[in-house]
Amino acid sequence: MASSTIELLKEELPVNQESLVLSEDVKTGLVLVDIVNGFCTVGSGNLAPTQPDEQISGMVDESVKLARVFCEKKWPIFAFLDSHHPDIPEPPYPPHCIAGTNESKLVPALEWLENEPNATLRCKDCIDGFLGSIEKDGSNLFIDWVRNNQIKKVYALMYVCWILCVQHCLQEIGVYLFLWRM
Ligand SMILES: [Zn+2]
């Protein structure tokens, strides 16, 4: 993420940035947002990069490294997968990440996460992962994940838009969100 974006964000929100210190003392969760082919793999649809992009590949590499560390420690991971019904467009975006296609799957370097017991994968059909986690009964899978794992700190690799939707909510339940510096 460009540092200027972070500066802009800091003017609007209490966003924290710090070096990554994974302490055993603070229950920490990792959130991966839309590290799917449709956004990150060259040539995988309308919103995928058309040529290799260092910022995207850097984020993917970082997410793989972190996911490995979290899995070794058996710490909780939550991965959002953008996933749309073919008949329900998401304006202003062109069709992308249609459910069941390769576009809505984790990038190849993260596919192994599907089988990790500490990882929760959630398909979402809107840009806001928080709204996309609401179940039919009104519960929220993301909030349940935070509560059930007693998470106090979340490290997130994500698109900026999602932060706006979730930052305040996490603070309300005493969880601090840390962004990855790209
Ligand atoms: Zn989408």
pLDDT of residue 172: 74
pLDDT of residue 18: 59
| CA 12 – ligand 1 centroid, Å | 24
Q: What is the pLDDT along the chain (182 residues), one digit of tens a residue?
A: 445 655 666 666 656 665 677 778 889 999 998 999 999 999 999 999 999 998 889 889 989 999 999 999 999 999 999 999 999 988 888 999 999 999 999 999 999 999 999 999 999 988 778 888 889 999 999 999 999 999 998 888 876 556 656 776 787 777 887 776 54
| CA 122 – ligand 1 centroid, Å | 13
| CA 72 – ligand 1 centroid, Å | 31
Domains of the chain, by residue range, sit at 26-179
| CA 46 – ligand 1 centroid, Å | 11
Contact, 145 vs 76, CB < 8 A? yes
pLDDT of residue 179: 72
pLDDT of residue 1: 47
| CA 107 – ligand 1 centroid, Å | 16
Extract the tokens encoding 52: 């290799």
pLDDT of residue 157: 80
Which among 20, 7, 19, 16 is positioned nearest to 175, based on CA atoms? Answer: 16
pLDDT of residue 6: 59
pTM: 0.85
| CA 23 – ligand 1 centroid, Å | 34
- The CATH code that applies to domain 26-179 is 3.40.50.850
| CA 101 – ligand 1 centroid, Å | 13
| CA 24 – ligand 1 centroid, Å | 35
Neighbours of ion ligand 1 (CB under 5 A): 82, 90
